[in-house]
Structure 1
Amino acid sequence: MRREGLVLVGATALALCAPPAAHAVADDLRIHDIQGTTRLSPYDGQQVSEVRGIVTAVRAFGSARGFWIQDPTPDSSSATSEGLLVFTGSVSPTVAVGDQVSVAGTVDEYYPDGPPDTAVHQSTTELVRATWTVESSGHALPDAEVLDVPRDLTANGDIERTPLRPRRYALDYYESLEGMRVRLDDAPVVGPTTQYNEVWLTSRPRENRTARGGVLYWGYRADNTGRIKVESLIPFSQHPFPQANVRDTLAGETSGPLDYDEFGGYVIQATAIGELQPGGLRPEVTRRQRDGELAVGTYNVENLSPTDPASKFQRLAQGVVDHLASPDILSLEEIQDDNGATDDQVVTAGQTLRRFVDAVVAAGGPRYEWRQIDPVDGADGGQPGGNIRVAFLFDPSRVSFVDRPGGDATTPVEVVDGHLSVSPGRIDPGSEAWADSRKPLAGEFTFRGRTVFVVANHFNSKGGDEPLYGRHQPPTRSSETQRLAQAKEVREFVKELPRRANTVVLGGLNDFQFSQALDELSPPLLDLINLLPRDERYSYIYEGNSQTLDHVLVGGRIAGLDYDVVHVNAEFANQASDHDPQVVRLSLAE
């Protein structure tokens, strides 16, 4: 159901809206009675009264205010939670931590993503349209449960009505603690602090750790169930939110009621946050290519436009020069048009690319030239008005670009007599596979007399997929269908190139190395991420999972290669982009 607003009168809350249809009021219920032994309350939609508990936390800001209560005398069932959220809308509740309260209201299963019949998130059991009485104050809080999460995520299917088995399944375990005080001690940071003041920790410090301290998502059942998001209920004036990187630790206790958020995952609404203990993680630096090596890189620059501050251009440029060692060819993803997200008819990106190239020169790098094709306005997805596209940068002192005119937003590139018909050119831009998505850009280069074909990509995003911690298990990954079609388009184009042509396909493929889309491309190409040790196979962090969305694939007469994912962004709170760049240094056979 949808939440509704409240007003406060004295120490009680009254509904702004009309009361629901008359129901018998269930009184003298305990919190565990309301929570029940599944995800759905047996009293959903019913009015209850005299529900007693100790106030453990108050959210007195934002539009979703309220307070959590917990019964200090639990029952004997591990499946029933002893905590409950009392929702008060946009009005701050008149209670304090440590109050014992008696609450009346309507039990509601709140879905953050819509009505129950279409929601894919789990629900939160709460009391709405509530009134309460403070019976006494100054009580000690119930002890916080130290998180000890099972490794297995959950059973398959729609899990809403299945009895909770918290000792077997992680999602059942979390649900059995909904609204209760939980804690982590000396918790490792596995996802850096975001701009929204949230950080990801793990309660399973030995689970699938990366070489640099994160947790690796290496398969569809490698869910890393110890991951948990932390937000703060403490005013930042009293305790600024820690700006944490991967490998840092929040030393001491981090605790608060366990909640389920609008993005489909569990979160600790912290009333205590551990002290930030730096782990010493530093951005990586790759080596420079040797004279006989062709260095080809890829970098998602996260909606770069002239409206961005100079500092973003400077940091990205320093990343290219100081950390990526100025590749000979660089594929850029998420280059926006010349006025960014302003939604008008502008599609050119010359100002964006010129500012970036100038920033690279100022950082001590080469003066790159660029090649790109302006999209049809509004046809390639991404931020509305931004007209993002992929683009090539190349160092003319090291490589040459073979220009063949005629490439535009709607003209497909073809292979004619072993060469590209247009260069740069877009792969089959009229195909349904590229609807509302970026079109791949193919370019023909020469390096020391050898032809090299490079295809820059930015496949459609994972938007629309169900959450890992949603009600349907395993989650439906609906976005995969389009990426699979896109991968097939790229594969068919590569097959038209001359046999054993030197080929690099790279960029933001927005899927995992174990996905169907990557299986479609390899073979005929080799996905280089699979050459790394498993604990180094990532370029992005999402919800605390280190994972691979960016790829470099190669084929042809390759005599040797040296490949590196250069970790400069994804693990750090202070990011220039949310993706890490990559580079491969190729030795081409005679």
Structure 2
Amino acid sequence: MPSRRTLRRPLTLSAVAAAALAAGLLAVPQSAAAAEARIHDIQGTTRISPLAGKQVTGVPGVVTAVRAFGSARGFWFQDPHPDRDAATSEAIFVFTGKETPDVAVGDAVDVTGTVSEYYPGGKDAGLQSVTEITGAKWTVTSAKNRLPAAFRLNPASVPNRYAPSNGGKDIEPLKLRPGSYALDRYESLEGMRVAVSDAPVVGPTNTYHELWVTAEPKHHRTARGGTLYSSYADPNAGRLKVTSLIPFAERPFPVADVGDALQGTTAGPLDYDNFGGYTIEATDLGDLADHGPQRETTRKQSADELSVATYNVENLSPKTAQAKFDRLAEALVKNLAAPDVVALEEVQDDNGPTDNGVVTAGATLKKLTDAIAKAGGPAYKWAQIDPVNDQDGGQPGGNIRVAFLYNPDRVSFTDIPGGDATTPVKVEKKNGHAALSVSPGRIDPANAAWKDSRKPLAGQFSFRGKPVFVVANHFNSKGGDQGLDSRFQPPARTSETQRTAQAEAVHGFVADVLAADPKAAVIVAGDLNDYQFSPALKKLTAGGVLTDQVNRLPKAERYGYVYNGNSQALDHMLTSPALTRTDYDIVHLNAEFADQASDHDPQVLRVKP
């Protein structure tokens, strides 16, 4: 059966909503006393029910779908006689917990119970609430009734503007404006039957049997069929998650990649959760049409080109299945054409998530380089620095870090002893050129910007007799940020502060290199966990010290990660002013596919120092 990742439990109203109730802003209309309410009276014209916490009796409607699995069982029912207010939903979920409700689709029911507001992930997560009826009892009055027609979600019915702005405050007290904002449109349809037709897949099927589609097929499409996230102002309003209420024995869930489509009609009640927001719980699934493009392969570097790559290998350790090592190796050798230098992110210690004080990563890197050699690649060597135990964030016990692989047949690594977890690398001037005090060396590791985060690793290389400085990075994650679909609008991006400070530290290091030698070849690469239009990237490129190569690509190609149906740029490669002859490629072979070796696409930069 389909799976669900969250436990549902009724939670109390938010303080904002409670205050609004007390002030009379969400007062119950005199014609809609709780005892004789219809569903649209319960749902009301804001995100919070005007009858929240109250008992309702004999609420009529027709059962449109049943969730008969997991710990969040229940059914949706919808009033076939709607009111004339577009802001009021005509359907609601009846939560029965672990008990499978004894109803069938098409049953006409009268429901009695308590109106509750449920906050997926908990109220503090800042997400939307779901209005439900709990502690319910019902009477089936007839069977096999016609279901209300599904509301069609398309460019004409989904506004391009995503959410009302409320200065970062809670939008729960605001009256819904479904003709103006997509989040209001979806909230006004909460629990109702909705449908999309011939929907493009913009987020691949995941291990929880979920995928993302868009109701706006022509809006911000990427070159390979996804939906491009290119500014905070436009989060792509048409994105919706799709799950299934159909038993998998009857209809296996489609294994879809970005660029595919669900042909025909996909329909079901509109739900909401904390793992993707508004969701079509499909009772009808379109047929999978395989339109998606193939995995990419970049060209081989020429003899006078230095090829540098960055690749987030997603919690790699000796405990990782050999099949993943083999896939990563094959990608490095074939899809990436065996880069001369590779900046790796998320390399774990030699016993992975076991938290026992081990910080070395030689076994992890040997297993990877052995796999590369077996795949026909070069005999890579590596350079890295072990972190202080449990100080760099990531999976507990994993001690993730950045590391370099390099091909000694093509490039030399300038090994300058003395680098360790706490010793900062300094820039020196020798014979008129920049040089590092230690190589590899960590950039300003005592800086508070790196608290519970990976420290950047600087390495000095030599290519055809010319020095090249490469900085491998993995900035702090977006954990703690409010979601795009938060009830606080615009959502707070609190994690930006630390990434901006991290960017400032790296920018300062590169500035020191250029002060010693304005013509120095510097490449800054890695998973920066932020967008090309973010404050962190603006800080990193300030004053022309670095150029973000992603901005040199056609706009529709500026992505290497897919999250909740948004194709976006989190990994970057940046160059100093001397590197004017560049060829940059994001090699799409993971993020758009249901079958992934990592959740990030690798990138390759070819330069002529």
Provide the TM-score with structure 1 as the length reference: 0.95
1:254 equivalent in structure 2: 266
SS state of the match for residue 48, structure 2?
coil
2:114 alignment partner, one of 106, 114, 132: 106
Residue 585 of structure 1 and its aligned partner are, at CA, apart by 0.5
Q: Tell me, in whole angstroms, the C-alpha distance in 2 between the residues paired with 1:505 and 1:25.
A: 64
Q: Tell me, in whole angstroms, the C-alpha distance in 1 between the residues paired with 2:454 and 2:470.
A: 16
Equivalent residue pairs, number? 568
Residue 105 of structure 1 and its aligned partner are, at CA, apart by 0.8
CA gap of 1:495–1:350, structure 2 versus 1, over 3 A, is: same
Aligned AA (1:133): T
Whether 2:410 is the aligned partner of 1:401: answer no
1:144 alignment partner, one of 150, 155, 169: 150
Q: Tell me, in whole angstroms, the C-alpha distance in 1 between the residues paired with 2:40 and 2:10.
A: 24
Whether 2:75 is the aligned partner of 1:67: answer yes
Note if contact 1:25-1:47 (Cα within 8 Å) is conserved in structure 2.
Answer: no
2:467 equivalent in structure 1: 451
Note if contact 1:107-1:125 (Cα within 8 Å) is conserved in structure 2.
Answer: yes
Q: Tell me, in whole angstroms, the C-alpha distance in 1 between the residues paired with 2:582 and 2:489.
A: 40
Q: Tell me, in whole angstroms, the C-alpha distance in 1 between the residues paired with 2:112 and 2:311.
A: 55
**Runs of 4+ more than 6 Å apart:** none
Matches within 5 A, 1:193-208: 193-208=205-220
2:428 equivalent in structure 1: 416
Q: Tell me, in whole angstroms, the C-alpha distance in 2 between the residues paired with 1:65 and 1:411.
A: 55
CA gap of 1:37–1:97, structure 2 versus 1, over 3 A, is: same
Aligned AA (1:3): R
Q: Tell me, in whole angstroms, the C-alpha distance in 2 between the residues paired with 1:203 and 1:396.
A: 50
Residue 140 of structure 1 and its aligned partner are, at CA, apart by 1.4
2:138 equivalent in structure 1: 132
SS state of the match for residue 581, structure 2?
strand
Whether 2:131 is the aligned partner of 1:122: answer no
Extract unaligned runs of 5+ from structure 1.
6-23
Q: Tell me, in whole angstroms, the C-alpha distance in 2 between the residues paired with 1:4 and 1:292.
A: 64
Aligned AA (1:266): Y
1:527 alignment partner, one of 538, 543, 548: 548
Q: Tell me, in whole angstroms, the C-alpha distance in 2 between the residues paired with 1:190 and 1:547.
A: 12
SS state of the match for residue 259, structure 1?
strand
Residue 164 of structure 1 and its aligned partner are, at CA, apart by 0.8
2:227 equivalent in structure 1: 215
CA gap of 1:159–1:264, structure 2 versus 1, over 3 A, is: farther
Matches within 5 A, 1:9-20: none
SS state of the match for residue 104, structure 2?
coil
Q: Tell me, in whole angstroms, the C-alpha distance in 2 between the residues paired with 1:555 and 1:32.
A: 60
Q: Tell me, in whole angstroms, the C-alpha distance in 1 between the residues paired with 2:106 and 2:426.
A: 71
Whether 2:501 is the aligned partner of 1:493: answer no
Residue-by-residue CA offset, 1:16-74 (whole Å, 9 max, x unaligned): xxxxxxxx982221100000011111001101110111111111111111110000111
Q: Tell me, in whole angstroms, the C-alpha distance in 2 between the residues paired with 1:406 and 1:81.
A: 66
1:513 alignment partner, one of 532, 535, 538: 532
SS state of the match for residue 584, structure 2?
strand
1:30 alignment partner, one of 23, 38, 53: 38
Residue 439 of structure 1 and its aligned partner are, at CA, apart by 0.3
Identity of aligned residues (%): 61
Aligned AA (1:436): D
1:90 equivalent in structure 2: 98
Whether 2:542 is the aligned partner of 1:542: answer no
1:155 equivalent in structure 2: 164
Residue 406 of structure 1 and its aligned partner are, at CA, apart by 1.1
1:335 equivalent in structure 2: 347
Whether 2:69 is the aligned partner of 1:42: answer no
Matches within 5 A, 1:157-556: 157=166, 158-263=170-275, 265-417=277-429, 418-497=434-513, 498=516, 499-522=518-541, 523-556=544-577
Residue 515 of structure 1 and its aligned partner are, at CA, apart by 0.5
Note if contact 1:209-1:216 (Cα within 8 Å) is conserved in structure 2.
Answer: yes
Aligned AA (2:570): L
Residue-by-residue CA offset, 1:242-261 (whole Å, 9 max, x unaligned): 00011111111111100110
SS state of the match for residue 300, structure 2?
coil
1:18 equivalent in structure 2: none
Note if contact 1:264-1:467 (Cα within 8 Å) is conserved in structure 2.
Answer: no
Aligned AA (2:342): L
Q: Tell me, in whole angstroms, the C-alpha distance in 1 between the residues paired with 2:8 and 2:160.
A: 33
Whether 2:602 is the aligned partner of 1:581: answer yes
Aligned AA (1:426): R
SS state of the match for residue 397, structure 1?
coil
CA gap of 1:35–1:4, structure 2 versus 1, over 3 A, is: closer
CA gap of 1:382–1:72, structure 2 versus 1, over 3 A, is: same
Note if contact 2:66-2:245 (Cα within 8 Å) is conserved in structure 1.
Answer: yes
Aligned AA (1:470): S
Aligned AA (1:128): T
Note if contact 1:29-1:49 (Cα within 8 Å) is conserved in structure 2.
Answer: yes
Aligned AA (1:307): K
Residue 101 of structure 1 and its aligned partner are, at CA, apart by 1.1
Note if contact 2:241-2:276 (Cα within 8 Å) is conserved in structure 1.
Answer: no
Aligned AA (2:492): T
Note if contact 2:258-2:292 (Cα within 8 Å) is conserved in structure 1.
Answer: no
Note if contact 1:297-1:582 (Cα within 8 Å) is conserved in structure 2.
Answer: yes
1:9 equivalent in structure 2: none
SS state of the match for residue 469, structure 1?
coil
Provide the TM-score with structure 2 as the length reference: 0.92
Aligned AA (2:162): L
Q: Tell me, in whole angstroms, the C-alpha distance in 1 between the residues paired with 2:346 and 2:38.
A: 53
Residue 310 of structure 1 and its aligned partner are, at CA, apart by 1.0
SS state of the match for residue 246, structure 1?
coil
Residue-by-residue CA offset, 1:548-575 (whole Å, 9 max, x unaligned): 0000000142251111000001111111
Q: Tell me, in whole angstroms, the C-alpha distance in 1 between the residues paired with 2:276 and 2:173.
A: 18
* RMSD, aligned CA: 1.4
1:16 equivalent in structure 2: none
Aligned AA (1:65): R
Extract unaligned runs of 5+ from structure 2.
1-6, 12-31
1:562 alignment partner, one of 583, 597, 603: 583
Q: Tell me, in whole angstroms, the C-alpha distance in 1 between the residues paired with 2:357 and 2:102.
A: 52
Note if contact 2:309-2:605 (Cα within 8 Å) is conserved in structure 1.
Answer: yes
Residue 263 of structure 1 and its aligned partner are, at CA, apart by 3.0
SS state of the match for residue 265, structure 2?
strand
Q: Tell me, in whole angstroms, the C-alpha distance in 2 between the residues paired with 1:4 and 1:515.
A: 36
